[in-house]
Structure formats: C-alpha cells, structure tokens
Copies of this chain bind each other. A is one copy, B any other.
Amino acid sequence: MCAVVGVYGSQNASKIAYYALFAMQHRGQESTGISAADGKSIKVVKHRGLVTDVFDEKSFEILEGECAIGHNRYSTAGKDSVLDAQPVFARYKLGEISVVHNGNLTNKNEVRNSLIERGAIFQTDMDTENIVHLIAKSRENHLIDRIKDMIRKIEGAYCLIIQSRSKMFVIRDRYGIRPLSIGRLEDGGYIVASETCAFDLVGAKFIRDVKPGELLIFENAKEPYSEMLFEPDYRPCAFEYIYFARPDSIIDGKNVYETRVKMGKILALEQPADVDLVIPVPDSGVAAALGFAEGVETRFEMGIVRNHYVGRTFIEPTQQIRDLKVKLKLSPIKYLIENRKIAIVDDSLVRGTTSRRIVGMLRSAGAKEVHMRIAAPEIKYPCRYGIDTPTKDELISNSKNPQEIADYIGADSVGFLSLDGLNEALGRERRYSLVSFDGNYFAGGCADSPECRSVD
C-alpha cells in the first residue's frame, strides 16, 4: 500500500510526477515525496501530508531535471513519521542515489541485522533504507551491478524505482505482486507508475505492464533497456482488484471496476439473498453491488449517502448522538430502507467494526432484514506483501465463521465470495497472490512474523 512513479526524459518530469502521485493518492495519504535529477545532482522534497499540501510552486523550482521519481506512503498509525517519507536519498561511493519502493521485504530483518553487523546505521524503519544500504555496500564498480547484487539479497514483494544523477532503474519482483506499468508521455518521455490511472491524468499512453522479474534501464533518449532478472512466476495481488486499486485502473490487462462487478455477480450465484433492495457501502462496494444486484435480479439503489464534507476535527458530541462516527460519513435513506429486506454489499470484511455500525444504522432506519454480502473471501491471514492488514487476532474471519460474524455485526446473514469464485472472477489464466485468504506465503514471510508487518 503505497504508490511509486518514475518519469524519464520529460522537461516537466517533476510536475508530471506530482500529478501522477495526485492520481494515486488513494494508495497512501501519510506522506509524499519527489526527487529530481538533472544530470548533476539529485534534489528531494518530501513531507508528511497529502500531495496537494506538501508541494508548492517553490518545490518545483528545486525539483529540476528531466528525471523525477515519487512516492505516496500509506498511513501507519502512532508514529512520528517525518523521517519515514520516501524517496530515500543518499550520497554513496558512486555519487548520489534516490530510491522509492512499493512492497514489503520478507527478509527485511535478516538483511537489516546483517547490515548492522557490518557497521551500517538505520535512521528509519523503511525497507527502502535496506535497499540503499545494499547498493552502497556492494563491491561492484557499476551501479547496475550493485543493483543486481542488491536484488539477489532481498525477498518479498517489491516495485523499485532507483534514480542516479542521470539514469533511472525500474525493477519488479519475480511474482509481480504489486502492479507497475509503463506509459509514454506526449513529449516523448516515459512514465512508470503503480497504477494506470496516473497515465490518464497526465495524458500518457499505456504501453505495457512491467514484467515480473524485469529490470528496465532508462538512459538518454533511447527506448529503455530491458532485462529479465528472474524467471517470472506471475502472481498479481488479488487485493488490488478487490479494493485497493482505483476502479479506472487496468492491471494485467483487466479493468479493476469490471473485475469487481464480476465478483459481485459470482457472489450472487454463491450467496444469493432474497431481498427487496441491494445497497452498496459507498464508495467501496458500489461496483460489486451492481454485479450482485444483477445476479440476484433485484433493484440496486444508492441507499446510503456518503458525506463529502467530513472534516478532520469534531466537537465532542452530546450523549444523544449515537454512532456519530459512522453517521458523520454515511447517511441511510430511511425512506428506501424502512420495512424492506436489504442486501448490503461491501468489498471486504476485516475487523467487522465498521460493518457492525453500518448494519446498526440500517436497523435504526427500519430495515426488516439485513443481509451482508462481501465480494471477497474470508480474510484469515495477514498479508506480508504490501497490504497493511491487522494481526491474525484482529481478523474477524480468523476466529468466527460467517454465522458468528452475522451474530456479531447484527446481520440476518453474512455471505463471502469463495476462493474459487474469486479465481473465476479474476480469470483462470493466471495464479494470484491470495495469501490473506489461503495463507500460502509463497514469497517468504509468515502469518506471525511481526517483522513483516511494516509496509512501504
């Protein structure tokens, strides 16, 4: 959960990176940064905050040059995170380097301990610092060889963009767990980004996805040099389709929105509900609810209104105002709900706390029956490949079956998409990273390793 972008060969490199990060703000809201290289040096601007808050006109006077890389970082609560923004910049033996990273290294602590043993210091908790150290410590004489050295030492899920003073290197892990695509700008420059929605905003043309295990080198005006570092074993993350990516993005040739609609349709076959109305949890459940409604041949209605004015601070309410937190964000249309049997559709169910509030809200609005339908399988294991999931104990499906969950959240029934149904919706031609559902930690790490928790 993070976004990366790299722009190469464009006179407006840092501004294009800025707009691309804006388009990918949903992937991380804690901090953001861009570094730019003009052949002579690398400059960085990064800070806690949203893209539109962190950068101003002055930033772009600093961020000169035809190559820029950028990053949005996902919020991890309770830390002073000024230092935990990316790109990570460093001076090292071969000059200057800047790195952004989306993913999670499963052998992070092992690598870190070995580096520390050899005298390295770590100023942050980020994987990315490991990566910079590995490059700096390599004995190779060329950056490209040092990068390869580094790649040999890391495991897990990663999309890396590395910038020297004049080149840009892009690497995607052999499983292609996190998405990464290449596009072409109107001025001839290249853009690499986590999601294709970034291309649409900046007017870039999608070329293709970066291949799993591929290394790309951008240098001069030429086409990027490509080399396969690994035999690919493609397993894109199912969660990107389920809820993380933006609906207009295309990952591995599949549109996210359409895939969600399919999940809803299959869910309807597997877990139908005899209801008067199908309602999405806005906005996350809309696409799946449309598919579900079609599947169960029942009216779809936007029966819950999402409030666009949710501010950051609220006055402490009086006791009279119950469930204020969810009511400030979501408002049910009583008129539709009263005395009706409702299917409420969401994209996934993690802890169950929000679902409980939403079901309660629908009950208060007079719903006769409330059937919760989830367009994803039961989440039983923490992801270690870049999606921030709570510990096993906090995952409601880890300890409760659907009936128990229904009791807990106050619904008449709860139904999940099956793992098979998910595979059906995603397409049988490919294996997927399904670790949260099946606990198959194929790329390293395990359900209990606390070390794997942090996410870049």
A121 to B132, CA, bound (A): 8
* Cβ–Cβ contact B122 & A331, under 8 A: no
* Contact among B55, B60, B302, B314 for A286, CB-based, below 8 A: B302
Q: How far in angstroms is the closest Cβ of chain B from A202?
A: 6
* Cβ–Cβ contact B80 & A93, under 8 A: no
Query: CB-nearest residue of chain B relative to A187?
Result: B320
A301 to B80, CA, bound (A): 42
Known interface pairs A248-B331, A327-B201; A318-B26 also in contact (CB < 8 Å) = no
A250 CB contacts on chain B under 8 angstroms: 334-335
* Cβ–Cβ contact B202 & A320, under 8 A: yes
* Cβ–Cβ contact B90 & A309, under 8 A: no
* Cβ–Cβ contact B121 & A202, under 8 A: no
Chain A 304-315, CB-CB to B under 8 Å as 1, else 0, gives: 011111111111
A333 CB contacts on chain B under 8 angstroms: 247-248, 255, 257
Q: How far in angstroms is the closest Cβ of chain B from A11?
A: 8
* Cβ–Cβ contact B136 & A119, under 8 A: yes
A261 CB contacts on chain B under 8 angstroms: 301
* Cβ–Cβ contact B90 & A247, under 8 A: no
Known interface pairs A80-B43, A136-B120, A257-B333; A305-B93 also in contact (CB < 8 Å) = no
Indicate if A153 sits at the interface (CB-CB under 8 A). Answer: no
Indicate if A143 sits at the interface (CB-CB under 8 A). Answer: no
Query: CB-nearest residue of chain B relative to A56?
Result: B315
Q: How far in angstroms is the closest Cβ of chain B from A348?
A: 18
* Size of A's binding interface in residues, CB under 8 A: 97
Indicate if A77 sits at the interface (CB-CB under 8 A). Answer: no
Chief secondary structure at chain A's binding surface: mixed
Indicate if A394 sits at the interface (CB-CB under 8 A). Answer: no
* Cβ–Cβ contact A336 & B93, under 8 A: no
CB contacts under 8 Å to B, within A65-123, are 80, 82-83, 88-93, 116-123
Indicate if A380 sits at the interface (CB-CB under 8 A). Answer: no
* Cβ–Cβ contact B320 & A90, under 8 A: no
Which of these binds chain B: A44-52, A369-377, A383-391? A44-52
CB contacts under 8 Å to B, within A305-350, are 305-318, 320-322, 324, 327-328, 331-336
Indicate if A18 sits at the interface (CB-CB under 8 A). Answer: yes
* Cβ–Cβ contact B257 & A336, under 8 A: yes
Indicate if A268 sits at the interface (CB-CB under 8 A). Answer: no
17 contacts between A and B (CB under 8 A): A15-B317, A16-B318, A16-B320, A25-B307, A52-B313, A83-B89, A91-B122, A92-B121, A120-B136, A187-B320, A200-B332, A201-B328, A201-B331, A203-B321, A246-B305, A248-B335, A258-B336
Closest 10 CB pairs of A and B: A52-B311, A255-B335, A90-B121, A119-B137, A12-B318, A25-B309, A91-B122, A248-B333, A121-B136, A92-B121
Give 12 new A-B contacts, CB below 8 A, not counting A51-B311, A248-B334: A26-B308, A44-B80, A51-B309, A52-B314, A62-B80, A116-B136, A119-B136, A121-B136, A123-B123, A201-B327, A257-B302, A290-B302
